[in-house]
Amino acid sequence: MRVLLRLVSTIIFFTPILMQAKEVSPGILRTPDSRFENLPDYDFDPHYEDIQGYRVHYIDEGPRDGEVVLMLHGEPSWAYLYRKMIPVFVEAGFRAIAPDLIGFGRSDKPTSMDTHTYQFHVDTQAALVEALDLTGVTFIGQDWGGLIGLRVVAENEERFSRVAIANTGLPNPQTDKAPEGAFGNWKRMNQRMVEAGDIPTGAMIANSVGDPSLKEAYDAPFPDPSYKAGPLIMPQRVPLVRTDAGAVENSAAWEVFRRWEKPFLTSFSDGDPITRGGYIFFQRQIPGAQGQPHTTINDAGHFLQEQKGEEWAETVVEFMRANPQ
């Protein structure tokens, strides 16, 4: 009887988790739509595209014939991060598109961390751009959104007309010794999360921004840790030495950007310890960055879209209007 009671208790305890898990094919989970209901300031209709067998979600607002603004989020966020910026672009007459990376947001979630390579995310986002047949695109990226998106831009340059980035980078390692500093500390902290099998997605962003109310929205895509393979492993995928996966491809992307003459804008925030000063290399190396009104977004940390989203969006709108296609 005692064994039976223990079994029943175990089933009752795990039932809420098991009921939320939705495996759409072996090793691929899909977050229930109910998790995204009634999120603050988020009333965008979902759009989906099948990419390499995964259902990829994207926000698509504004006129179909408007100039396209493509916004890519990073880790561990999702397209919710751009909810304050999207209305600014739509009001300006642009078509605002914000996808969820595979493994994030409303997109499907492979449960194996092995799936989440740098190249996988570059390839699948490039495939989405092609599937939607986007041209004349102004790319906006932050965090991993920049690492992935800048590769997509460099490898599909004919589809892009401008670039605007903040709090991101495109690592081009030239040594065999990994750099120390803030990112090295974060990578070691993240490795402990990988070993523990969980990452506090909502708390990380809410604490970083100083707004506890955000926790629910950034936890919404992940009913339990089995959904978190992407957010968990992505920090370990940043190429830091020449032998890391992605280093060769990033070097090739930099060859494109060193001759890139299309408009290129940096708007890094003043309170991000990881990417502080990262704009300098872009400004010095990219021809299209010369003479542009680069700016610093004051009183904002890493997730500047939360703290100064409207300001960054207005900056990009002015940049686009000053650099017409």
Query: Order of strands, edge to edge, in the sheet holding 109-110?
Result: 23-25, 28-29, 109-110
Pick the catalytic residue from 100, 108, 143, 244.
Answer: 143
CA distance 212 to 109: 25
Most distant CA pair in the chain: distance in Å?
Answer: 78
Pick the catalytic residue from 73, 116, 121, 302.
Answer: 302
Q: Does 200 sit behind a cis peptide bond, omega within 30 degrees of 0 on the bond before it?
A: no
Whether residue 141 contacts residue 165, with contact meaning beta carbons closer than 8 Å, is answered with: yes
Does 143 qualify as catalytic in the annotation?
yes
Does 272 qualify as catalytic in the annotation?
yes
Pick the catalytic residue from 41, 272, 294, 299.
Answer: 272
Burial of 60 (0-12, 13-18, 19+ CB in 10 A): middle
Would you tell me the crossing angle of helices 247-257 and 118-131 to the nearest 10 degrees?
Answer: 50
Distance set, CA 76 to CA 103, 190, 199 (Å): 10, 11, 9
Whether residue 237 contacts residue 117, with contact meaning beta carbons closer than 8 Å, is answered with: yes
Does 211 qualify as catalytic in the annotation?
no
CA angle, 264 then 118 then 204, to 5°: 85
Q: In one letter, which amino acid is 308?
A: K
Q: Name the residues annotated as catalytic.
A: 143, 272, 302
